[in-house]
Amino acid sequence: MNSVLGEILAAKRRRLAAGEFAPRGRAALPSDGRRFAAALGSGTGPAVIAEVKHRSPSAGVLLPDAARRVEDLARAYRRGGAAAISVVVEQDHFGGDPAWLPRVKAASGLPVLMKDFVVDEVQLDFALSLGADAVLLIVAALTDAELGRLHAAARRRGLAVVVESHDADEVRRALGVSAEIVGVNARDLRSFEVDLGAAGVLGRSIPDGVLRLAESGVKTAAGAGRLWRLWRRGVAELGTAGGSWV
């Protein structure tokens, strides 16, 4: 496993061992995975998952003073027509904070995805306690057995699941657990390099009936339009600095 992804996962497991992801009681706004999926698949054109991300290992700081700005950004995303909001909560490499998620959900009224590196079921209960409507499972970070177990566990809890892939084998693995939402990340989390063309081709291999989500690399409306025409259907995700699209 590449050192960057490996370092992220090692840091996550250290936090898990320290008990940092114990559920925080009952969420003020309960999770609703069906609402998240419906928000992405209800229109005839692309839907946007806007993103709250403080920083990234590849781009540095994207949202200065994020802790004070998350409500304003959430309301702006709603005014801009976002279908849902992704909140990057990973602390060590992305500078996120799980406490931002319920704040974003309350301020926007939109369904919210907890974007983290999920490797243990306790994180699913943690997501529920925050009021997350969906979670992210990254194929590159999990074995087939882990992916299947965590996907099934999330669905039993009523969470929607975005299963993120980067290449044809990872798409196959995602479909192997009956994923209903498959993300194609143009950024390889092993090297952090972006190949939007490969992602565009790969998205076409995802069968009808599965929501297609493009992640990373799309920075303009024209780029989003090109992917939309290629894929013919799907969901778009645009982050705080460029981002991604389906």
| Residue numbers annotated as active site | 51, 53, 115, 164, 185, 215-216
Total number of residues shown for the chain: 246
Question: How many whole angstroms separate alpha carbon 25 and alpha carbon 125?
Answer: 10
Question: How many whole angstroms separate alpha carbon 124 and alpha carbon 140?
Answer: 18
Cα R_g (the chain), whole angstroms: 16
The answer to whether 172 and 145 are in contact (CB under 8 A) is no
The single-letter DSSP state of residue 161 is E
123, 234, 172, 32 alpha-carbon torsion, rounded to 10°: 30
Question: How many whole angstroms separate alpha carbon 98 and alpha carbon 144?
Answer: 27
Cβ neighbour number for residue 158 with a 10 Å cutoff: 13
Amino acid at 193: E
